[in-house]
A and B are shown apart, each in its own frame.
Chain A
Amino acid sequence: MAETAPFLRFTNVVAGYGGGDVLKGVQFDVPQGGVTCIVGPNGSGKSTLLKTVSGLVKPRLGEIWFKGENLVGQTPRQILRLGVVQVPQHHSLFREMTVDENVELGAFLVKDRKVIAERMAAIREMFPIVAERASDKAGSLSGGQQRLVEFARCLMLEPDLVVLDEPSMGLDPKTLRSMFATIKMMNSMGRTVLLVEQNARQALKLSHTGIVLENGRVRLSGSGIDVLNNPEIGALYLGGSIEETKHAS
């Protein structure tokens, strides 16, 4: 019987930066259509793992299969063409360019001006900040606004997989809620989301799948709620046990 190709599959991925391996044989699947959240302590290899997906870091060993294509060895440009976009951890807007220019750059690989114009119109409706601040330089936006514009930009390619690296970093609580709501919206539009997040409780609550990474290996995987409610993981990675949290509330 022929097996259906997994949406995204990591097979024994080993990768690092030259000073030793950060990922030491990572292996798991990301189901299509859901939100998968990777949590783990600092230095566990979460961001490195996402960089292997977008082609910024080339694994030393192993394979990363996306809809039947091995991403290992492909350039970020080739990976984008396959429908995988990444919003990196640091603010990645081009500060001296306008919000409009930044969002339009999300469709850099699209040649048809008409298609770009249609997508821009749709994005402006979805993200009012893009329409309101269209002519402003991206550097003049607040951290939260920049993050929303980055989300808007990543949707310009109409990707199948959106990879988000700690999107909540440096955001205030109000903006944080809006950011998580946007992730939900992206997912409801049919985008599969692969997310690394320090704000693990909130992220796991909205995730269909949770992955715990430790020392470059998958320590635990399951549904987002299962991972969230695992007392050992709660104590180790989520700033105290889940039981304690329940008693406190």
Chain B
Amino acid sequence: MNAIALLNAAKDGILTGSVYALMATGLTLIFGVMDIINVAQGILVILGAYLSYALSVHLGIDLFVGLLITIPTLFVVGVVIERVFMARLKGPEKTAMSILVTYAVSLLIEGTLNTVFSVNVVQLQASYVTRSFSIGGVHFGFIYVAGFVMAAVLLSALYFMLYRTRFGVSVRASLADQTSAALVGIDVRRVSTICFGIGVAVTAAGGMIYGSTNAFNASTSYDLISRLLTIIVLGGMGSLGGAMLAGVSMVFIGDVVGTVWSPVWSTMSYFVVLVVVLLVRPQGLFGKQSARVA
């Protein structure tokens, strides 16, 4: 092993990890505002990938241009899911029930995708997907760099929205305490619906990059959701910054360990870090210990 190989591994970790961070941010935003664990997030990423696939194969629309359609579409899908299923969940069992309900939603989408697209694996194709360039011996796949830039832009936009807009103030207040937010006049119901929409909309971008770099079918969602859930647990449930850091860390640690020792330890290494962190901080890196007790 040499320094170049290590640099390549670190680079892959950061570039790919940023896309996971983007997908996990949607998941943690939904949990933070609504106390809902959306286990359908994995299949929604795959839905995003299939939408990009359909636009590309059947209408010849470029993968990145297609995001102008798929992101708003998935926002609407998120709003519909929230209004039809999530708005009905109330009371102390809400979070536990949300796992069952979103799992049912996940099965519904999975069945539909299998029917429409079959169970055969596909991968998104474009001329630039396989293109790469090299800087100082370190290779950069175009699609990975594009995914990183897109994730950085979308996460920056999300941060701008949260910290520089009036709507962002209402989201942060709802994240902290829904009752107190309602008592200063914030429409927590509306904030929840829009946040669910945003949380789902980011899966369109994540799905496009994921589908360009991996062969997928509807069942791929199970691997994805397990990764996304571990990311938000490590970062701290409801913490946006935590999801970003944990998303990048997950792939970074796995890739570096895979290069330094053996690919056999790659996936396991992340879970070792997860267990160690949770032993010291059960609430995750940036989670609040008693945030959801009240």
Cβ-based interface call for B35 (8 A)? no
Do A80 and B177 have beta carbons less than 8 Å apart?
no
Chain A residue nearest to B294 in the complex (CB)? A90
Tell me the complex Cα distance, A157–B187, Å. 16
With A97-B172, A105-B169, A108-B170 already in contact, the answer to whether A92 and B186 are too (CB < 8 A) is no
With A90-B294, A101-B169 already in contact, the answer to whether A108 and B184 are too (CB < 8 A) is yes
CB of B180 to closest CB in A, whole Å: 4
Cβ-based interface call for B138 (8 A)? no
Residue of B170, B173, B294 ringed by the most chain A CB atoms within 10 A = B173
CB of B124 to closest CB in A, whole Å: 39
8 Å CB contacts to B: which residues of A69-99? 75-77, 80-81, 85-86, 88, 90, 92-97
Cβ-based interface call for B129 (8 A)? no
Number of A-B residue pairs, CB cutoff 8 Å, is 54
Tell me the complex Cα distance, A157–B177, Å. 20
Chain A residue nearest to B190 in the complex (CB)? A77
CB of B164 to closest CB in A, whole Å: 12
Tell me the complex Cα distance, A157–B182, Å. 14
CB of B35 to closest CB in A, whole Å: 17
Interface size on A, residues (CB 8 A): 26
8 Å CB contacts to B: which residues of A81-128? 81, 85-86, 88, 90, 92-97, 101, 105-106, 108-109
Give B residues with C-beta under 8 Å from A.
91, 169-170, 172-173, 176-177, 179-180, 182-187, 294
Cβ-based interface call for A54 (8 A)? yes
Cβ-based interface call for A220 (8 A)? no
With A94-B173, A96-B172, A97-B172 already in contact, the answer to whether A105 and B179 are too (CB < 8 A) is no
Tell me the complex Cα distance, A60–B185, Å. 23
CB of B223 to closest CB in A, whole Å: 34
Chain B residue nearest to A54 in the complex (CB)? B183
Chain B residue nearest to A105 in the complex (CB)? B184
Partner of A108, one of B176, B177, B186: B186
Tell me the complex Cα distance, A95–B181, Å. 12
Do A80 and B180 have beta carbons less than 8 Å apart?
no
Chain B residue nearest to A94 in the complex (CB)? B176
Do B176 and A95 have beta carbons less than 8 Å apart?
yes
Digitize A51-81: 1 where CB-to-B-CB distance is under 8 Å, 0 elsewhere: 0001110000000000000000001110011
Chain B residue nearest to A80 in the complex (CB)? B185
Measured between beta carbons, the chain A residues less than 8 angstroms from B173 are 94, 97, 105
Measured between beta carbons, the chain A residues less than 8 angstroms from B179 are 56, 88, 92
CB of B266 to closest CB in A, whole Å: 35
Do A94 and B185 have beta carbons less than 8 Å apart?
no
Measured between beta carbons, the chain B residues less than 8 angstroms from A80 are 183-185
Do B177 and A92 have beta carbons less than 8 Å apart?
yes
Tell me the complex Cα distance, A92–B179, Å. 8
CB of B210 to closest CB in A, whole Å: 32
Do A94 and B180 have beta carbons less than 8 Å apart?
yes
Tell me the complex Cα distance, A101–B294, Å. 23
Do A94 and B177 have beta carbons less than 8 Å apart?
yes
Cβ-based interface call for A147 (8 A)? no
Do B180 and A85 have beta carbons less than 8 Å apart?
no
Cβ-based interface call for A153 (8 A)? yes
CB of A80 to closest CB in B, whole Å: 5
